[in-house]
């Protein structure tokens, strides 16, 4: 396993990040343990969760599963980089969501309790909160860092200008600010190449793509159109919309002798701004398959063919749409 620095930090993480969103709703607790065990055994040291995962508002079901796994295996805590998130609704009160200092502090304490740990390695803001000033957000985060409850701060679903604004104000406070951004990014969704990726590269943020397979679209959707999520009405619409591209894409993958899912992950791993795509296996077998992407080397010729099939927005802004 070749580890990568998380943005401009000295922290090293695996090139794949284990996403835990399925733990609880889709994957039993025992199977979740097996997935985490295998990930750690295979060198994946970057685990990502969120306080809202688990589909039971306010309960933090997925965090609790991760916490019980850590409690059963106390030696594992110092072997992983543990990331979670704050923003989503965690109660019925007016201050049980978003990024007020009040909610950040309470949400952090609750996540620490559920995760059964004394610190969060990467505490990520799950979305931008336009109603809370950055002075308030950074004051709250600085306090958590000073107390040793949080080591690094990241963002998720931020626009490029949000990242620039946040880190400009953090620098004025002599605070490190954001070190990572978690964004929607895959072959079929490349909008962040306009401004988010340039902002990350300029300001030293590691990029952590979520939905690397486009919700299953890039995982062999034509071959498996009658299975699982691909059988849903929404997925069928996406397949119909992208059918010509999918036909070319899956044909290219067959030529390479690789699965479409592995090629989609490998493409992300070849993007210079990317630190670690988030994989969200529901089974041990899915985890095993995703790890295979680490061994795929895509030539410039293949990367160009993928760009032809799944073109991006044309580069970064403003050249992508102006001059």
What's the CA gap between 259 and 252, in Å, rounded? 10
Q: How many independent structural domains does the chain possess?
A: 1
What's the CA gap between 35 and 23, in Å, rounded? 10
Active-site residue (options: 3, 33, 53, 87): 53
Q: How confident is the model at residue 230 (pLDDT cuts 50, 70, 90)?
A: very low
As a whole number, the mean pLDDT across the chain is 96
The answer as to whether 242 is a domain residue is: no
The answer as to whether 79 is a domain residue is: yes
- Is 249 known to be catalytic? no
The answer as to whether 201 is a domain residue is: yes
CATH of the domain at 33: 3.20.20.100
Q: How confident is the model at residue 233 (pLDDT cuts 50, 70, 90)?
A: confident
The answer as to whether 311 is a domain residue is: no
What's the CA gap between 26 and 28, in Å, rounded? 7
The answer as to whether 172 is a domain residue is: yes
Q: What is the pLDDT of residue 277?
A: 98
Q: How confident is the model at residue 47 (pLDDT cuts 50, 70, 90)?
A: very high
What's the CA gap between 29 and 18, in Å, rounded? 15
For residue 263, give its domain range.
4-220+259-299
The answer as to whether 294 is a domain residue is: yes
The answer as to whether 17 is a domain residue is: yes
Burial 208-241 (b: 16+ CB within 10 A, else e): bbbbbbbbbbbbbbbeeeeeeebeeeebeebbee
The answer as to whether 229 is a domain residue is: no
Q: Of 47, 90, 42, 44, which is closest to residue 70 (Cα–Cα)?
A: 47
H-helix or E-strand spanning residue 184: strand 178-184
Torsion over CA: 26, 30, 35, 36 (sign): positive
pLDDT in tens, 66-116: 999 999 999 999 999 999 999 999 999 999 999 999 999 999 999 999 999
pLDDT in tens, 251-284: 999 999 999 999 999 999 999 999 999 999 999 9
pLDDT in tens, 13-45: 999 999 999 999 999 999 999 999 999 999 999
């Amino acid at each position: 396993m070749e580890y990568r620095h998380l943005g401009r930090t000295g922290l090293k993480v695996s090139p794949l990040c284990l996403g835990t969103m399925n733990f609880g709703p889709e994957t039993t607790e025992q199977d979740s343990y097996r997935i985490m065990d295998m990930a750690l055994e295979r060198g994946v040291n970057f685990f990502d969760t969120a306080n809202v995962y688990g589909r039971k508002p306010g309960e933090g079901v997925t965090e609790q599963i991760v916490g019980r796994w850590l409690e059963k295996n106390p030696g594992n805590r110092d072997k992983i980089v543990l990331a979670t998130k704050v923003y989503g609704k965690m109660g019925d009160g007016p201050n049980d969501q978003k990024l007020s200092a009040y909610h950040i502090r309470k949400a952090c304490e609750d996540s620490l309790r559920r995760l059964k740990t004394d610190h969060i390695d990467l505490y990520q803001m799950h979305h931008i909160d336009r109603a809370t000033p950055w002075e308030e957000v950074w004051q709250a985060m600085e306090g958590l860092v000073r107390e040793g409850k949080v080591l690094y701060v990241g963002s998720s679903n931020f626009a490029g200008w949000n990242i620039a604004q946040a880190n400009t104000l953090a620098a004025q406070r002599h605070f490190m600010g954001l070190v990572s951004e978690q964004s929607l990014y895959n072959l079929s969704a490349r909008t962040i190449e306009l401004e988010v990726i340039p902002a990350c590269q300029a300001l030293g943020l590691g990029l952590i793509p979520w939905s690397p397979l486009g919700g299953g679209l890039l995982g062999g959707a034509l071959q498996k159109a009658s299975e699982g999520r691909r059988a849903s009405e929404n997925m069928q619409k996406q397949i119909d919309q992208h059918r010509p591209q999918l036909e070319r894409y899956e044909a290219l993958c067959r030529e390479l002798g690789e699965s479409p899912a592995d090629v989609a992950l490998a493409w992300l791993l070849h993007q210079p701004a990317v630190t670690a795509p988030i994989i969200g296996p529901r089974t041990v077998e899915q985890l095993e398959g995703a790890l295979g992407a680490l061994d795929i080397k895509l030539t410039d010729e293949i990367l160009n063919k993928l760009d032809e099939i799944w073109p991006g927005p044309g580069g970064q802004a403003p050249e992508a749409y102006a001059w």
